[in-house]
Structure 1
Amino acid sequence: MVRSPSETLEKVGADLVYRISAMPMYKKAFKYWYPFMTKRMGHDDVVFLNWGYEQDPPLGLKLDESDEENRYSIQLYHQTATQIDLAGKKVLEVSSGHGGGASFLARTLKPASYTGLDFNPDGVAFCQQRHQVPGLEFVQGDALNLPFPDNSFDAVVNVEASHIYPDFAQFVREVGRVLRPGGHFLHTDFRAKEDIESWQQTLATPPLRLVNERDISREVVRGLAANSPRSNELINERMPFFLRRFAREFAVVEGSLFYRDLDRGEITYRIFDLVKD
C-alpha cells in the first residue's frame, strides 16, 4: 500500500512518540508535549486528562448530568479516592491537571478542604477560573518538592501522573513527609510489566505501609474503549491532521499502541492504598 506524504508523516510521528515513551528520555520529551496537548485540548469542556475505568457489569456510579460525559475518567478517580472515607479530611491531590477530578471529589466526598497542586502554571490558572467549589483551591508546585509543612494532610491523591516524574522515589518521600501519621496515600498509575516490582518496593518504603493493591488493567481497558469515541471527536476537531496520531497515543484511544500494550499485559494499571505509620 502506498501512503500519502501526510499519512507517512502521521505514522512516523506515532512511532516516534511511542518509542520515546519507552525510553528514559520520554520524561523530558513529554515535559514539552504535555503542555502543548493540554493547550490544544484545553477548552472549557476538557477537564479530565486521565484514562478511564469501567467494570463488567458496569459500575453504574450515580452522576449529575453535567458530569456524565466524563463518566469513565470520573470512575477512575472515584475508585482511587473511595478506598477510604474522605469526609471531613484535609486532602491534597498532586498533579491535578485540568481539575476535573479535584472538583468531582470535593463536591461529592465532602472533604474539609481539597488542594490541587500541579506543575503547569497554565493548568493551575485554568483550574482557578474554571472550578469554583467551596473548600477547593489550586496551587502551582513541584511534586518532588511539595510546598507544604510536614504532617499537613490526612490524605494524598495521585492519579495517573507519577510515571512521568523524574524521581519517583523522591515523590514518595515527599508524600510520606506531608502526610499526618495515620494518613493515606491513594495512588493509581501504570507501569511496564518489568517495572512493577520496583514500583511496589518504592511505594511501600517506611513510613508508608501497603494496605491494599489491585490490578485494574481490565477495567481501564474497558473505560478507554468506552471513552474513545469522544476522545477521537475532540482530537479530530482540535488537532491538525499530522498531529492526530500523536494525540491518539496521548489520549490512549482504542487501537492505539499504548491501548494494545495494556490490553495484552505489556503494561499494567494498578491502584494502591498506603498508610503512614
Structure 2
Amino acid sequence: MTTQASRPNIAHRIGGSSVFKKFMNGYWYPLLTRKLHGDDVVFLNYGYEEDPAMGIPLDADDEDNRYWIQMYHATATQVDLAGERVLEVSCGHGGGASYLMRTQRPASYTGLDFNAEGIEFCERRHQMPGLDFVHGDAEDLPMADGSIDAVVNIEASHAYGQLPRFLTEVARVLRPGGHFLYTDFRGRDEVPGWEATLADAPLRQLACREINGDVVRGMERNADRSLELIRRVLPSFLRPFGKQFAGVPGSGVYHDLETGKISYRIYLFTKD
C-alpha cells in the first residue's frame, strides 16, 4: 500500500489531494508505523480472496495475514520470479516483500518506500539474505537503467503525483523482457484517464482483470482484526478515518467497491 498519498475517495471527502498528500506523508503513515510497531502489522493493503477460496499453502506464522498475502500472491505470481531481481515500489511495512522472497525465490528483492520510518521498521523486522529496503521516491527510482527483472506495485499508484513519470521510471529500470506486476484501483469516472495513461506508457499490456469481488471478500475476512486494531491504537477522532483507510464493511471504500463505483484491477505489463 502506498505511502505517498491517499485513497482517492477519502481525499475527496477531506478536500484537496495536495493537502491530503502532505497529511498522509507527514503524519498518517509515520503515525501508523509507530502505532502498529508493537502489533507487528506488516501488511497495509485491503486484502484478497477468491470464490472458491484460493487456499494457497502458508506457513503457520503467515496464516493470520492470509488475505493480505493473497493480494501479493495474485499479483506477483503472474510470472515466475525465481532467480529474478525484483523491485517493489511502495513496500509499506514489508510483509509482501518477506512473503515473496521466502516463497518465490528471487535472486534479490528490494523494497522501496517514501515513508522513512516504515523503511526503518522493515529493516528491523524483515532480515534475510537477498532482501533489502531503501527509502526513495516512486517517481525518481534510485536504480540503474535495465537493472531490474520485475517491478511489483500494489495498491499504491493512485496516490502518486505524476503517474506517467512513475511508469516511465518503471520502464527505465526494467530490462528488456522484464515485467511490471501491478495492482491498483480508480474511481469509475477516473478509469478512462487511467487506461489512457497506461496505454501511453513505454510498456506493453499482457493481461488485466477486475477484482472488485475478490477485494470485497478480503475486506470482509480482515474486518474483525482491522476493527480491533483501530479501536486499540487510534485516538477516537481518527477512528472514522482509520475505518475508511482499512476499507472495513460499512466504510465508503467498501461500499464503492461493492457497488462498482471503484474499479480495482490486476495488470501484467512487459517491456519490449
Q: What SS does the aligned partner of 2:38 have?
A: coil
Provide the rounded CA distance (Å) in 1 between the counterparts of 2:248 and 2:15: 16
Aligned counterparts of 1:87 and 1:135: Cα–Cα separation in 2: 12
Pairing partner for 1:231 from 213, 226, 229: 226
* Alignment of structure 1 residues 119-158 onto 2, 5 Å: 119-158=114-153
Equivalent in 72, 90, 95 of residue 95 of structure 1: 90
1:20 aligns with 2:30: no
In the TM superposition, what is the alpha-carbon distance from 1:28 to its structure 2 partner? Answer: 3.4
CA contact (8 A) 2:11 2:17 kept: no
Question: Distance between the aligned counterparts of 1:164 and 1:77, measured in 2?
Answer: 19
Query: Which consecutive unaligned segments of at least 5 residues does structure 1 have?
Result: 1-14
The letter of the residue matching 2:22 is K
Q: Which moved more, 1:70-79 or 1:242-251?
A: 242-251
Structure 2 Cα separation of the partners of residues 243 and 17 of structure 1: 15
Q: Is 1:168 aligned with 2:163?
A: yes
Q: Is the 8 A contact 2:29 2:115 kept in 1?
A: no
SS at match of 2:149: strand
CA contact (8 A) 1:224 1:253 kept: yes
CA positional deviation for 1:176: 0.5
Residue 37 of structure 1 corresponds to 32
Output one character per residue of 1:22-56: Cα deviation in whole Å (capped at 9) or x when no partner: 85653333323232233222335200011100011
Q: Which deviates further from its counterpart, 26-35 or 85-94?
A: 26-35
Shift of the 263–23 alpha-carbon distance from structure 1 to 2, 3 Å rule, reads farther
Residue identity matched to 2:21: K
Q: Which has the larger radius of gyration?
A: 1
Which deviates further from its counterpart, 168-177 or 190-199?
190-199
SS at match of 2:200: coil
Match of 2:253 in 1: 258
| Residue 212 (structure 1) aligned with residue 227 (structure 2) | no
For this pair of structures, how many residues does the alignment match?
263
1:18 deviation in Å? Answer: 5.8
1:70 and 2:69 are equivalent in the alignment: no
The answer to whether the 8 A contact 1:118-1:140 is kept is: yes
1:226 offset after TM fit, Å? 0.6
Name the counterpart of 1:270: 265
Task: Report the Cα distance in structure 1 between the residues aligned to 2:15 and 2:101, rounded to whole angstroms.
Answer: 32
C-alpha displacement of 1:232: 0.5
DSSP 3-state at the match of 2:184: strand
Q: Secondary structure at the match of 1:43?
A: helix
Cα pair 2:184 2:264 within 8 Å, conserved: yes
Q: Is the 8 A contact 1:44 1:130 kept in 2?
A: no
Structure 2: where are the runs of 5+ without partners? 1-8
1:54 corresponds in structure 2 to 49
**Pairing of 1:234-245 with structure 2 (within 5 A):** 234-245=229-240
8 Å contact 1:151–1:178 — kept in the other structure?
yes
Match of 2:4 in 1: none
Q: How far, CA to CA, are the matches of 2:235 and 2:159 in structure 1?
A: 25
Q: Secondary structure at the match of 1:51?
A: coil
Q: Look up the match of 1:12.
A: none
Q: SS in structure 1 opposite 2:133?
A: strand
CA RMSD of aligned residues (A): 1.7
